[in-house]
Amino acid sequence: MSQKPSEPSEEARERAERWRAWMIAAQQGDAAAYQQLLDGLLPFVRGIARGRLGGDAAAADDVAQEVLLSIHTARHTYRSERPLLPWVRAIVRNAVIDFARKRTRKREVGIEAAEHAAGPERDPLAGRISPGIQRALAQLPDAQRRAVVLLKVEGLSVAEAAEREGATPGAIKLRAHRGYRALRDLLGRESW
């Protein structure tokens, strides 16, 4: 018997049931099951987010981290008699919508700031860090570069940087960590 295109495969149904069982076990305090659930969900969530964000891998990673944090904080609200994946998909959908709204607001604010910028000094890093580090920073993805600059150059707290970026503190920490690691590689593990 052939399968309808909209029906999930047997493998997909088994995976969904396994994830549901892990969520139920996690709700009962099983840390290993919870870790297996998060490890299994991450590529699934990232794939959905990437599809909804036009293939933007960096944005999908940011959204996936937000989704895992949301799942963590809301896992007690999951009702075990229901399928897990519709609940997860709703969280992903909401996270993508929130991400898109924040990105739009940042663009609007950025345009306004650029229109109102005055003075000859347009590079906020000029004179504050070495040219070598400036070149390395320029090679980082925008989100990582902004996190590193806000935390290390401007000296903001994680909470302040998160507020300025319209992100969670966890997302800022993750972006900064990835940025630091990339900078170490770019700079040949020199002290900066």
Chain segment 83-112, per-residue pLDDT in tens:
999 999 999 999 999 888 888 776 666 555
User: Residue 124 — very low, low, confident or very high, per pLDDT cuts 50/70/90?
Assistant: low
Q: Which CATH number fits domain 10-103: 1.20.1250.20, 1.10.645.10, 1.10.1740.10, 2.60.40.10?
A: 1.10.1740.10
pLDDT tens-digit readout, 25-57: 999 999 999 999 999 999 999 999 999 988 889
Beta-carbon-side half-sphere exposure of residue 113 (alpha carbons within 13 Å): 7
| Contact yes or no for 145/155 (Cβ under 8 A) | no
The predicted model gives 103-127 an average pLDDT of 57
pLDDT tens-digit readout, 142-163: 899 899 888 888 888 888 888 8
Q: Which of 58, 64, 63 is nearest to 41 (CA)?
A: 64
pTM above 0.95, yes or no: no
Q: Where are the domains of the chain?
A: 10-103, 121-186
Ranges of H-type helices in 53-168: 57-74, 84-116, 131-138, 142-148, 158-165
Domain 121-186 has CATH 1.10.10.10: yes
Res 128: pLDDT: 63
pLDDT tens-digit readout, 50-81: 999 888 898 899 999 999 999 998 999 999 99
Calculate what percentage of the chain has a pLDDT beyond 70. Answer: 82
Provide the sign of the torsion angle of the four alpha carbons 150, 152, 157, 159, taken in this order.
positive
Provide the sign of the torsion angle of the four alpha carbons 112, 113, 118, 120, taken in this order.
negative
pLDDT tens-digit readout, 158-192: 888 888 888 899 999 999 999 888 888 887 654 44
d(CA 30, CA 32): 6
